[in-house]
C-alpha cells in the first residue's frame, strides 16, 4: 500500500472540525430546530447523504447543479452526488409512499449538505441544514393551503423568537410567484416568457444595464417590459411597512393583482415578523406560489422557502401541493454569536440538558363549527407557551432559561400541539384522529370563548375552560 | 438544463430512506450512544463527512482503501473520499491541537460513514457509527493506560446492559496485539515477519490450506510456524471460559507470555461481559495493543476496537497513546429488534422524550491515598445507577422505563460521573480540576468505606457518606 509522507494532511477546504465547545454550540442550534419542529407537529425523517446525480438534474436551479460534488464508485457505472439540498430527496420519498402517508404530511429533517462553491464567511462547502415541509392535505380547499404556508412561516418565526431574537433582528420577506407572474403580464411580458422573466427579475438589481439588455436579448424578452415590472416591484419594496397590508393593497390598485392569499397568510403569522416584499423571487426553478426569505439586519439571508406544487408529480408521485423551507446552521450561528444569544460554558451545558419536546402531542385541538375560527390562534398560543409575570419582570433574561424558569413560576411551557386538518365536523372522527397520533389531551373548542379538555389516556373529562386557561389546565396534568 | 425522463429515480443502492417510524428507531439508538458516552465523561466532537483521500492511505487497512467512494470537485485538483471510518479524522484533529487539549482527552462522535462494498443484511453503503476514544493521559503510568482500555470496554458493555441485553446475548472478546506478537515469536516466526503474521492469522480460519501456503510463500513466512501459532490460539479459544483468567493463565504456562495487562483490564470490566479470545486480531493495520470485538449470539460482530499508540504521531502529533472503538447502527438495530428490545409507538415516543444525560458532571470522584482503590468501583456504580426493589420485583420490565421508574421508587438514576486522572494527591488541585470541568458535586474518597461530598456550586459540605450511599445523597440534591 502506498504510504504518503507523514506531514500533516489538513481538513478539506470549507469543512469544519468541531471540538467539544464548537460541537455544543452547534447542538444548541440543532436542538432548537428539533424542539420548534416537534412543537408544531412535524415528524422527523432522514434521507441518504448522497443521491443519484440525475435526481438533481430534474428541477434544481442551474446554480446548484454546477456546484455539486459528484462521483462514481470504482468499478461501478452509477453517477452520484453529495446532496446540495433536501427537496429532491423529500419529493422522491413522498412519491414512493404517497398512498400510505397521512394527509397532510408534515416532515422535518436536519443533516449535512454540500456545495462545491468558494468558501467564505457564512458559506461553507459542508454545512447543516434544517428543512420543514407540509405536503398534501385537502387540495379542494385553498384556505387549508394558506394555513400550511402560514404554519411553515410560523415555525421559522418561533425558532427566532424562542432563541431571543426580535423582528428588529430578523424579518420574513414574503412574496408570491403568482403575484410576480401577474406583475410581469401587467408590465407587458408575454405569457410564454413569464418563467424566464421571474428568473431574470431575481437577479435584476445585481446586474448592470448592459447585462440586462444582453440577457433579455438572448431569450427574446422585452427589456422595457422587464424594467417596468422591476420599477413597480422596487417602488413597493421601498415603501414597505411592517403591516404588510398597505403595500399589498397598493399592488391591487396599481396593477389590479389579486392579493387575497398572501393577505390571509400575513394575518396568520405573528404580528410584526413578516412583510410583503415584491423583490423576493428565489432562484430555484421549482417554486410555484408563495416564496419568502428571512433577512437578518436588512441584508443577510438566513433561510428561505416557498410553495412547490408541481415537484412531487415530477418525481413520480400524484399531484401534491407542498410548501417548505430550508435554514443553514452557519449564518444562524454567526447571528446568535453577534447578538449575544449563544450561551457559554456551564449555562450552555445546562441549556442542553433540559427535557426535550414531547414526541407525543400534548394537546390536540379540534372544534365544532362555532369554535372553528379559534383553532389557529389557540394552537399558536399553546406552541408558544405563556411567560410568567416573574419572568417578565426579571432584569437579566436569558432566552435559554425561559422555559424552565416560566414553568416554575406560574407560566406555561411551550407545548407540542397539533390540530386535525380533516374537513369533517364529526367530533368522534376527530377524536379518533387525535388518538391515532398518540395525543395526550384533546381540546374541543365549542365557542369563541371556551373549550372542553379530555385526557385521552384515561378518557377522563377535565371539564370546560376559557380558551386562555386551556394551556395551564393541561400543563398542570403533564 | 438537461431534463432527464420523469420516471422515478431510486435512492442509491445500500442507503436508507428513514420515514418517521424508522427515524425514531434510529434515534433510540443514537440517544443511547450519547447518554452512555456522556455518563462516562466523554465529550462530543464531529469532523467533516469527507476528507482528503490521502488521509486514508496513511494507515487504514487495505480492505478499507479499496472500498472508498472517492471524488474530485469539477475544476479542482484535490482528491477527496467519503469517510469510511473516524479514526484518521480523530488523529488529525488531536494532532492539530495536541498542546491545548486536556490530558487525557475523552471524545465521542456519531455520524454517517460510507463503504462502497456490496450491500447485504447488516452491511450498508451508508450507515451511522458511534466512536469513543481516550487519547493521552499520564504516559509514564501503564496502569492508567489499562484503566483507559477498561473504560472503553465499560462504555460498550453499559450500552448493551442499559438497552436490556445480557452477556448471553453479547460478549466482549478481548485479545492483545502484543500477546499475538509473543505467540508468533514463540511459534518460530521471525521478528521482522510478525506484523505480516498477525494480518494472516486474522483471516487464517477463513482460508483453505492451499491459500495459506500460497500467502505464506508470497511474503516468505514460515507456514509451519504460523500453523503452530494458530493451533495454540485455537486451542485456547475453544477452552474459553467466561472467567477469562483460566485461558490467560494457560497462555503463560504454555508459551511463557506476559498477560498482566490484559488480566488487569478483565478485572475492571463488569463481571461476565468479557472473555479473553486469542483468535481476535482485527484487520486494521494501526492497532498496537489491546484489541477486541463484540460478538452477538456467538457470531455477529457488533463493534470492535483497540489500542493504537503510534497513529497520532503518524498524523503529525506528539507520541500519544490512544484506545477506542467503533459501533455501527445497522447490526445493533437488527439485534434490538430480534431480542424485542426496541420499543414501539407511544412507548418509543415516551422513551425519547425523557430528560437527557446531564452535560455537567453530576459527580466528580477524587481520592486520597487511602481511598485510591475505590475510585474505579465507585465511578462504575454511579454511572450505572441503582435499581429500586420495586423495579426489580416487577414482572414486566421494559429497559426503556428503568431510569424513570427507578428514580421514582427509591432507586438512583445513572449519573454523569468523572474522575481526575492526575497523579497528584493534592486535594486542592483535584478540586480545581473538578471545577474546571463544571462538575456539580465532588466526591472525596477518604477510606475503603466512606467519602465526603461537596456541592461545588454552593461550596456546601454535605458531610461524609458510606460509599454505597454517595449516589443517593447526590441524586436527592440534583
Model confidence pLDDT, tens digit, residues B184-228: 888 888 888 888 888 888 888 888 999 999 999 988 888 888 888
**For residue B56, is pLDDT > 80?**
yes
pLDDT tens-digit readout, A131-147: 999 999 987 777 788 99
pLDDT tens-digit readout, B123-159: 999 999 999 999 999 877 777 889 999 999 999 999 9
Among the listed residues A36, A67, A255, A44, the one whose alpha carbon sits nearest the alpha carbon of residue A155: A36
Residues of chain A with pLDDT > 90, as a percent, come to 61
Phi first, then psi: give them for residue B308, nearest 5 degrees.
-135, 75
pLDDT tens-digit readout, A44-78: 999 999 999 999 987 655 666 778 998 888 778 88
Q: What are the grid coordinates assigned to A54, written together?
A: 440525475
* DSSP sequence for A353-381: TSPPPPSS-SEEEEE-TTTGGGHHHHHHH
How far is the C-alpha of B351 from the C-alpha of A308, rounded, in Å?
36
Q: What are the grid coordinates assigned to B11, written together?
A: 435512492
Beta bridge partners of B293: B173, B304
- A458 interfaces chain B, CB cutoff of 8 Å: no
Between strands A170-176 and A274-276, the pairing is parallel
Return mean pLDDT, chain B: 89
Burial class, B119, CB count within 10 angstroms (exposed 0-12 / middle 13-18 / buried 19+): middle
What per-residue confidence (pLDDT) applies to A61?
57
Asked if B304 and B286 touch (Cβ cutoff 8 Å), the reply is: no
Residues of chain B with pLDDT > 70, as a percent, come to 94
**For residue B233, is pLDDT > 80?**
no
Its pTM surpasses 0.80 = yes
DSSP B259: -
Q: Kindly give, in sequence order, each residue whose CB lies less than 8 Å from that of residue A478, ignoring residues fewer than 6 positions away.
A: A358, A362, A440
Contact between chains at A345 and B18 (C-beta distance less than 8 A):
no
pLDDT tens-digit readout, B391-422: 888 888 899 888 878 888 889 999 999 999 98
The pLDDT-based confidence of A245 (bands split at 50, 70, 90) is very low
Q: Kindly give, in sequence order, each residue whose CB lies less than 8 Å from that of residue B86, ignoring residues fewer than 6 positions away.
A: B47, B109, B111, B113, B129, B131, B326
How far is the C-alpha of B60 from the C-alpha of B63, rounded, in Å?
8
DSSP B383: H
Contact between chains at B4 and A350 (C-beta distance less than 8 A):
no
Q: Kindly give, in sequence order, each residue whose CB lies less than 8 Å from that of residue B256, ignoring residues fewer than 6 positions away.
A: B186
Among the listed residues A107, A114, A102, A20, the one whose alpha carbon sits nearest the alpha carbon of residue A67: A114
Contact between chains at B57 and A346 (C-beta distance less than 8 A):
no
Asked if A290 and A149 touch (Cβ cutoff 8 Å), the reply is: yes
User: b or e along B212-230 (b: 16 or more beta carbons within 10 Å of the residue's beta carbon)?
Assistant: beebbeeeebbeebbebbb
**For residue A94, is pLDDT > 70?**
yes
Phi first, then psi: give them for residue B214, nearest 5 degrees.
-65, -45
| Chain B neighbors of A15, CB-CB under 8 A | 47-50
How far is the C-alpha of A304 from the C-alpha of A297, rounded, in Å?
15
The pLDDT-based confidence of A413 (bands split at 50, 70, 90) is very high
Sheet architecture: strand order including A70-72: A50-52, A79-82, A70-72
Q: How far is B461 from chain A (nearest CA, A)?
A: 21
Q: Which A-chain residues 337-356 have CB contacts (< 8 A) with chain B? A: 345-346, 349-350, 352-356
How far is the C-alpha of A146 from the C-alpha of B70, rounded, in Å?
45
**For residue A407, is pLDDT > 50?**
yes
What per-residue confidence (pLDDT) applies to B60?
57
pLDDT tens-digit readout, B303-360: 999 999 999 998 889 999 999 999 999 999 999 999 999 999 999 999 999 999 999 9
**For residue B241, is pLDDT > 50?**
no
* DSSP sequence for A71-116: EE-TT---EEEE-S-SHHHHHHHHHHHGGGS-SSEEEEEEEEEE--
- ω into residue A104 within 30 of 0, thus cis? yes
Place of cell 461550596: B459
Q: Beta strands of B115-217 (E only): which ranges?
A: 126-135, 170-176
Q: In chain A, what are the domains?
A: 20-356 (3.30.930.10), 358-478 (3.40.50.800)
Q: How far is A57 from chain B (nearest CA, A)?
A: 6
How far is the C-alpha of B262 from the C-alpha of A274, rounded, in Å?
65
Q: What are the grid coordinates assigned to B280, written together?
A: 481476535
**For residue A3, is pLDDT > 70?**
no
What per-residue confidence (pLDDT) applies to B4?
43
Place of cell 447502527: B329
**For residue B459, is pLDDT > 80?**
yes
The pLDDT-based confidence of A347 (bands split at 50, 70, 90) is very high
Count of A-B CB contacts under 8 Å: 225
List Cα–Cα distances, B296 to A84, A252, B347, in angstroms. Answer: 38, 70, 26
How far is the C-alpha of B419 from the C-alpha of A67, rounded, in Å?
48
For residues A286-309, give the mean pLDDT.
91
Phi first, then psi: give them for residue A38, nearest 5 degrees.
-65, -45
**For residue A204, is pLDDT > 50?**
yes
The pLDDT-based confidence of B7 (bands split at 50, 70, 90) is low
Element (H, E) at A419: strand A417-419
Contact between chains at B96 and A58 (C-beta distance less than 8 A):
no
Among the listed residues B151, B153, B201, B142, the one whose alpha carbon sits nearest the alpha carbon of residue B177: B201
For residues A26-39, give the mean pLDDT.
98
Q: Which B-chain residues 84-113 have CB contacts (< 8 A) with chain A? A: 89, 92-93, 95-97, 107, 112
Contact between chains at A356 and B359 (C-beta distance less than 8 A):
no
Long-range contacts of B394-403 (CB under 8 A, 24+ apart): B398/B164, B398/B343, B398/B347, B399/B162, B399/B163, B399/B164, B399/B341, B400/B28, B400/B164, B400/B343, B400/B347, B400/B348, B400/B350, B400/B351, B401/B351, B402/B162, B403/B354
What per-residue confidence (pLDDT) applies to A60?
57
Asked if A361 and A438 touch (Cβ cutoff 8 Å), the reply is: yes
Higher pLDDT, A238 or A48: A48
pLDDT tens-digit readout, A177-201: 888 888 888 888 888 888 888 888 8
Higher pLDDT, A400 or B1: A400
What per-residue confidence (pLDDT) applies to B239?
44
- A319 interfaces chain B, CB cutoff of 8 Å: no
Mutate to test the interface with B, among A24, A50, A310 (most CBs of B within 10 A): A50
Asked if A57 and B3 touch (Cβ cutoff 8 Å), the reply is: yes
The pLDDT-based confidence of B284 (bands split at 50, 70, 90) is low
3-state secondary structure B283-313: CCCCCCCEEEEEEECCCEEEEEEEECCCHHH
- CA A182, A64, A26 angle in degrees (round to 5)? 110
What per-residue confidence (pLDDT) applies to A241?
40
Amino acid at each position: 500500500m502506498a504510504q504518503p509522507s507523514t506531514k500533516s494532511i489538513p481538513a478539506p477546504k470549507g469543512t469544519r472540525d468541531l471540538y467539544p465547545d464548537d460541537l455544543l454550540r452547534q447542538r444548541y442550534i440543532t436542538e432548537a430546530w428539533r424542539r420548534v419542529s416537534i412543537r408544531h407537529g412535524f415528524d422527523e425523517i432522514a434521507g441518504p447523504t448522497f443521491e443519484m446525480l440525475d435526481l438533481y438534474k430534474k428541477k434544481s436551479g442551474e446554480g446548484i447543479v454546477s456546484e455539486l460534488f459528484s462521483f462514481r464508485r470504482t468499478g461501478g457505472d452509477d453517477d452520484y452526488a453529495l446532496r446540495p439540498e433536501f427537496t429532491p430527496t423529500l419529493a422522491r420519498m413522498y412519491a414512493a409512499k404517497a398512498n400510505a402517508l397521512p394527509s397532510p404530511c408534515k416532515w422535518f429533517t436536519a443533516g449535512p449538505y454540500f456545495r462545491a462553491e468558494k468558501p467564505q464567511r457564512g458559506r461553507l462547502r459542508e454545512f447543516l441544514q434544517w428543512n420543514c415541509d407540509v405536503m398534501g392535505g385537502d387540495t379542494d380547499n385553498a384556505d387549508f393551503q394558506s394555513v400550511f404556508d402560514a404554519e411553515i412561516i410560523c415555525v421559522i418565526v418561533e425558532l427566532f423568537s424562542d432563541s431571543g431574537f426580535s423582528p428588529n433582528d430578523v424579518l420574513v420577506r414574503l412574496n408570491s410567484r403568482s403575484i410576480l407572474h401577474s406583475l410581469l403580464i401587467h408590465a407587458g411580458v408575454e405569457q410564454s416568457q413569464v418563467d424566464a422573466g421571474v428568473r431574470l427579475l431575481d437577479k435584476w438589481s445585481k446586474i448592470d444595464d448592459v447585462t440586462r439588455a444582453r440577457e433579455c436579448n438572448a431569450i427574446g424578452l422585452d427589456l422595457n417590459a422587464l424594467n417596468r415590472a422591476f420599477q413597480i416591484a422596487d417602488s413597493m419594496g421601498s415603501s414597505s411597512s411592517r403591516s404588510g397590508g398597505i403595500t399589498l393593497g397598493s399592488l391591487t390598485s396599481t396593477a389590479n393583482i389579486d392579493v387575497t392569499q398572501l393577505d390571509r397568510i400575513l394575518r396568520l403569522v405573528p404580528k410584526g415578523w413578516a412583510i410583503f416584499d415584491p423583490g423576493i423571487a428565489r432562484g430555484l426553478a421549482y417554486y410555484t406560489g408563495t416564496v419568502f426569505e428571512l433577512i437578518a439586519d436588512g441584508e443577510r439571508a438566513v433561510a428561505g422557502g416557498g410553495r412547490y406544487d408541481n415537484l412531487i408529480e415530477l418525481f413520480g408521485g400524484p399531484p401534491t401541493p407542498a410548501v417548505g423551507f430550508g435554514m443553514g446552521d452557519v449564518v444562524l450561528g454567526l447571528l446568535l454569536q453577534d447578538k449575544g444569544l449563544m450561551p457559554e460554558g456551564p449555562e450552555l451545558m445546562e441549556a442542553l440538558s433540559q427535557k426535550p419536546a414531547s414526541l407525543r402531542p400534548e394537546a390536540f385541538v379540534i372544534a365544532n363549527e362555532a369554535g372553528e375560527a379559534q383553532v389557529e390562534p389557540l394552537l399558536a398560543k399553546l406552541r408558544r407557551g405563556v411567560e410568567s409575570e416573574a419572568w417578565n419582570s426579571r432584569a437579566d433574561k436569558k432566552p435559554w432559561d425561559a422555559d424552565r424558569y416560566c414553568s416554575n413560576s406560574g407560566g406555561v411551557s411551550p407545548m407540542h400541539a397539533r390540530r386535525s386538518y380533516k374537513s369533517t365536523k364529526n367530533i368522534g372522527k376527530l377524536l379518533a384522529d387525535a388518538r391515532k397520533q398518540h395525543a395526550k389531551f384533546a381540546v374541543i373548542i365549542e365557542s369563541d370563548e371556551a373549550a372542553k379538555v379530555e385526557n385521552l389516556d384515561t378518557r377522563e373529562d377535565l371539564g370546560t375552560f376559557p380558551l386562555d386557561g386551556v394551556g395551564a389546565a393541561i400543563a398542570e396534568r403533564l
